[in-house]
Structure 1
Amino acid sequence: MNVPSSLLAPSLAAPISIIRPRIVEFGSGALRAAARFAKAENCRRILVVADAFNAGRIDALGLPGEVAVFGEVRPEPDVPNLEAAIRRAEEVEPDLVIGFGGGSAMDIAKLVAALAGSGQRIADVVGAEKVAGRRARLMQVPTTAGTGSEAGTRALVTDPASQNKLAVQSVHMLADIAIVDPDLTLSLPPAVTAASGVDAMAHCVEAFTSRKAHPLIDMYALEGTRLVGRYLSRAIRDGSDVESRAGLSLASLYGGFCLGPVNTTSGHAVAYPLGTRHHVAHGAANALVFPHTLAFNAPAAPEKTAAVLEALGLRAGRNEGEVLEAAHRYCADLGCEMRLSALQVPREDLGAMAREAHAIRRLLDNNPRPISEAEILAIYEAAY
């Protein structure tokens, strides 16, 4: 992979810390590693944390011993959903917690493994490195190719009172083993494939163009973007194409590698209120927002923006308008909904959404170009 040296030079000597799951099993059939790990670690009480669909197929994990299930993880899970999962874990007292599903299930699994029986509550651990420890082992098994949550140490839940995301980061939430088997994604319908693929790509692109970008992460970020450009439309056309599913699973994993040391920027900040206030699926929200924030940031990162467009197979734009047009057409051609109005977001809520997005400083402070509340509102208006 050739990355122009001009893209790497500014941060080449900057210090960075990289952590990964102790074991990463990747590829078709990798799911067999779940039973091997549980047996090797002598795990006797296992709790699988899943959404309703995946709770119905936990037999695929082939687990030994006593297996309990919390199968009620909701999309965009909130604090009450987390607390219900913690209560279930405190009944089971598991020695192994497994996140089995998309990012929501894996994030809840992280928090359950860290908080159940600890005496700490979610309010005690919001922020960085406030988790006291972890008793159970943690396995993550993604069934979508988007969030990359299996690779990282962050978890997000929605506070229903404030309608904001609560972000927790801790080394104690890093998986002991991440099992990425693209066969588990073969049943994903085209719309979910498209939205989750754009989410993986957004993780990579935002990390690549971030003020905190680093060459050690750039290689994952740019290659993850290239994988999405190469395989996403193929997987949408033919969901049984195992090679394209594997390419997207790898892109998602690379996106997860980007999140820990660098994280996302304005794209995710602008997308979050769509999920917390209006229950728009996270991937769909990112797809709608992505062209607008890529174009907004283009003047501050022109070379990297051109590299992103090239990685997606698009002609590099010379200005914000051309970047917006190219990226918008790319997402629309994937079948993503690109209008807020079609997602039942009321126009009168756009101002409150802009205020909430602008307050997410943990992401916006990474953005390569300062963005005001008024500019965020303008993005919502343009996307309406």
Structure 2
Amino acid sequence: MNTPRNITIHQPSRLEVGANTVTQVGDWVGNKRALVITTSPVANHVSRLGLKGPFTTFEDTPPEPNELALRTILDLAESIKPEVIIGLGGGSVMDLAKLAAVLWNKNQTLEEVVGLNKVHQKLSTLIQIPTTAGTGSESGIRALVTNSQTSAKMAVESEHMRADIAILDPTLTYSVPSTVTAATGVDAMAHCVEAFTNIRAHNMIDDYARMGMKLIGQYLKRAVANGEDTEAREGMMLASYYGGICLGPVNTAAGHALAYPLSTQLHLPHGLANAIIFPHVLAFNADAKPEKTAEILAALGLPQSHDPSNVLQAAYAFCIDLGIEMKISKHGANTEVLLQYAEEAYNIKRLMNNNPKEMSIKDILAIYKAAF
């Protein structure tokens, strides 16, 4: 049992799960003014929403959201005063949709709301529609934005950013490439695992993590092998959602801290960065959380072991079998910058302090070298 403590879990007011549920959005929105925040690769799905009233679509969301993109969206939203904001896309889209829904009147700036519970009010109804299965952003109340000058992550958390409606429609993920499906799936796994092994772990959140890990072990390979396997795609969307719940009262730990420099410096997608780091941090923490590590491996259908080298070998092979390129040297990194990455990761204390085992800069550098 984990040490008892008080927690609060925020979830969407309404959750719709199933194939083609996205087509109901127009009925819920009615004739209200809407702003749809999305990205060009999935903008074709806007037509499936069935919007009946006036709406504006923003498609220029960057892979890693920054304050410049948010500023552009807020200017657009201020001009149209949307009654409804719809986030249709991955975690970047949904995080920007959360912030737009509470900031577009510009009574507060982004800098004023960074932190916990600093947002004054929600300005628009918020509908979140993920088109990938990885971040679980639709389930929670936290948004991350990268500072374009410093590459630092700015985290905003507020109950006012809770989705009024979240839709998990597996048909929206049919077209996601297998490599992206694999990486985002491992990212969802990392959310569950890092919360599960966290020093702030909670018994209730542990059970959400277990459900997510079991679904990933059951369905991720199937979703990678056949993008239109509706059962597998829905299973992965549920796993991602459960991982998102884990982020709220517990959050991630060293794995995500080590992944962030790969996103900010190498510009790797968030899911891929976390997939690359996942086996290494799982192995590093194995002797600190041996029983839970065994559960994690069992959920993935891997041989159970408490030995870090065996854990690394098994988890690394799992990712390789999914088709993920696990060497950061193949993604543009060079050995000269690894120490810089290690120092950056080490200083993300809001996550590093959650890790079940203390990790020094030397430890982090060793992981980056092993991943090189």
TM-score range for the pair, normalised by the shorter chain length:
over 0.9
**1:297 aligned partner:** 285
Check the 8 A contact 2:287/2:306 in 1, yes or no: no
Mapped to 1, the partners of 2:66 and 2:23 lie a distance apart of 32
Structure 1 residue 50 corresponds to structure 2 residue 31: no
Correspondence list, 1:92-241, <5 A:
92-241=80-229
**1:335 aligned partner:** 323
**2:13 aligned partner:** 22
CA drift at 1:193: 0.5
Check the 8 A contact 2:146/2:153 in 1, yes or no: yes
Count the aligned residue pairs.
Answer: 372
After TM superposition, what 4+ stretches of structure 1 lie above 2 angstroms from structure 2? 54-57
Gaps of 5+ in 2: none
Q: How large is the RMSD of aligned CA atoms in angstroms?
A: 1.0
1:158-203 deviation per Cα after TM superposition (whole angstroms, max 9, x unaligned): 1111111111111111111101101100111100100110111110
> Which amino acid in 2 is paired with 1:123?
E
Q: Secondary structure at the match of 1:280?
A: coil
Check the 8 A contact 1:98/1:140 in 2, yes or no: yes
CA drift at 1:312: 0.4
Mapped to 2, the partners of 1:110 and 1:318 lie a distance apart of 40
**1:35 aligned partner:** 26
Mapped to 1, the partners of 2:328 and 2:127 lie a distance apart of 36
**1:10 aligned partner:** 2
CA drift at 1:240: 1.1
Mapped to 1, the partners of 2:266 and 2:8 lie a distance apart of 36
Check the 8 A contact 1:48/1:67 in 2, yes or no: yes
Structure 1 residue 64 corresponds to structure 2 residue 48: no
Mapped to 1, the partners of 2:339 and 2:208 lie a distance apart of 35
Mapped to 2, the partners of 1:282 and 1:333 lie a distance apart of 20
CA drift at 1:268: 0.4
**2:253 aligned partner:** 265
> Which amino acid in 1 is paired with 2:2?
P
Check the 8 A contact 1:34/1:179 in 2, yes or no: no
1:65-92 deviation per Cα after TM superposition (whole angstroms, max 9, x unaligned): 1010111101012111111111111111
TM-score (norm. length: structure 2): 0.98
Check the 8 A contact 1:317/1:326 in 2, yes or no: no
CA drift at 1:323: 0.6
**1:382 aligned partner:** 370
> Which amino acid in 2 is paired with 1:26?
V
Mapped to 2, the partners of 1:24 and 1:206 lie a distance apart of 25
Structure 1 residue 279 corresponds to structure 2 residue 270: no
Q: Secondary structure at the match of 2:8?
A: coil
CA drift at 1:37: 1.8
**1:307 aligned partner:** 295
> Which amino acid in 2 is paired with 1:270?
L
Structure 1 residue 242 corresponds to structure 2 residue 234: no
**2:344 aligned partner:** 356
1:104-146 deviation per Cα after TM superposition (whole angstroms, max 9, x unaligned): 1000101111111132111111111111111111000000011
Mapped to 2, the partners of 1:46 and 1:122 lie a distance apart of 22
Mapped to 2, the partners of 1:326 and 1:310 lie a distance apart of 11
Mapped to 2, the partners of 1:323 and 1:84 lie a distance apart of 45
Check the 8 A contact 2:2/2:201 in 1, yes or no: no
Check the 8 A contact 2:103/2:123 in 1, yes or no: no
